């Protein structure tokens, strides 16, 4: 079974631009979560989608948004990029089995550099 | 956002030595997880702990869920060069897919 794939792997943008990152979950996984990883703050939860609906949201400004499609693929968008948005953006997919913990499988990430 | 206190931040050890790292939180978690991240890759789950006091092994790795539910440790025995990487602890509250809260990681270097 193929793992979580993220595209692109690397991206360079300038301040003020916007960017869209894509994540394809493991086949059969319906939940997709996004995390931001930086040296200073570590791994921080951005948001989680299930059945095309945002289920949880982390403490990030409204410039960060996402969506999920009917095939469970997800995209996240960052508008009006700032230097501090430079980070590794990780996507994780999992099955949805109710109240028990559902293991999240991470993709390799998209390295975003904002100049 | 909330984070876990993970220590040490980095370790340099000789091949064959044992390693111990731990994680503490001001909040109670229902699940503790330990991940390893290699350069250019996403984190990979090593061990999951679901019950206070639980001690679980995965090969040379052993992890425990603290009885207070606010801490966990990971031990690696007889380290080898491929153990090099960044180890993260993470906690979550069992409720569907609640988000993971991560520690800042322990960077492990193994000297052959």
Residue in B1, B48, B97 closest to A50 by CB: B97
Q: How far apart are CA B77 and CA A63, in angstroms?
A: 45
Structure-token pair, residue B81 = 């060069």
A93, A105 in Cβ contact below 8 A? yes
pLDDT the model gives residue B100: 87
Residues of chain B neighbouring A59 (CB-CB closer than 8 A): 1
Q: How many A/B residue pairs have CB atoms within 8 Å?
A: 71
Q: What percent of chain A has pLDDT over 70?
A: 95
Q: Quick: pLDDT tens for A16-60.
A: 999 999 999 999 999 999 999 999 889 999 999 999 999 889 999
- Out of A41, A56, A109, closest to residue B98 by CB: A56
Q: Are strands A10-13 and A110-114 parallel, antiparallel or unpaired?
A: parallel
Min distance B43 CA to chain A CA atoms (Å): 6
Distance, in Å, from the CA atom of A109 to the CA atom of A87, rounded to the nearest integer, reads 10
Q: Do A108 and B48 count as a contact with CB atoms less than 8 A apart?
A: no
pLDDT at A99 over 80: no
**Pairing between strand B71-76 and B61-65?**
antiparallel
A55 to chain B, any CB pair closer than 8 A? The answer is yes
* Chain A residue numbers touching B88 (CB-CB < 8 A): 42-43
Q: How far is A53 from chain B (nearest CA, A)?
A: 13
Task: State whether A101 and B104 contact (CB < 8 Å).
Answer: no
Q: Residue A10: list chain B partners with CB under 8 A.
A: none
- Is A50 in a helix, a strand, or coil? strand
Min Cα–Cα distance to chain B from A25, Å: 13
Nearest to A98 among B3, B48, B96 (CB): B96
Whether A95 has its CB under 8 Å from any CB of chain B: the answer is: no
| pLDDT tens-digit readout, B52-67 | 999 999 999 999 999 9
Please tell me which of A8-17, A96-105, B86-95 the model is most confident about, judged by mean pLDDT: A8-17
pLDDT single digits (tens) B75-104? 999 999 999 999 999 998 765 557 889 999
Q: Is A90 on the interface with B (CB under 8 A)?
A: yes
- What residues contact B2, with CB distance under 8 A and at least 6 apart? B27, B101
């Amino acid at each position: 079974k193929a793992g979580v794939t993220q595209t692109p792997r690397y991206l360079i943008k300038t301040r003020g631009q916007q960017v869209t990152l894509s994540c394809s979950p493991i086949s059969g996984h319906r939940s997709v979560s996004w995390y931001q990883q930086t040296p200073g703050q570590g791994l921080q939860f951005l948001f989680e989608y299930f059945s095309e609906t945002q289920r949880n949201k982390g403490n990030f400004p409204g410039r960060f948004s996402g969506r999920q499609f009917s095939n469970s693929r997800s995209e996240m968008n960052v508008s009006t990029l700032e230097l501090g948005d430079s980070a590794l953006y990780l996507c994780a997919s999992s099955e949805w089995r109710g109240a028990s913990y559902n293991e999240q499988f991470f993709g390799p990430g998209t390295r975003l550099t904002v100049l | 956002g909330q984070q876990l206190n993970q220590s040490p931040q980095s370790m340099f050890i000789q091949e064959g030595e044992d390693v111990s790292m731990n994680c503490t939180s001001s909040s109670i978690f229902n699940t503790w997880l330990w991940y390893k991240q290699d350069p250019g890759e996403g984190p990979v789950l090593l061990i999951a702990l679901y019950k206070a006091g639980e001690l679980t092994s995965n090969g040379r790795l052993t992890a425990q869920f603290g009885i207070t539910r606010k801490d966990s440790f990971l031990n690696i025995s007889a380290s080898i060069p491929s153990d090099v990487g960044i180890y993260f602890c993470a906690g979550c509250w069992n409720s569907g897919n609640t988000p993971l809260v991560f520690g800042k990681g322990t960077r492990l270097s193994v000297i052959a």
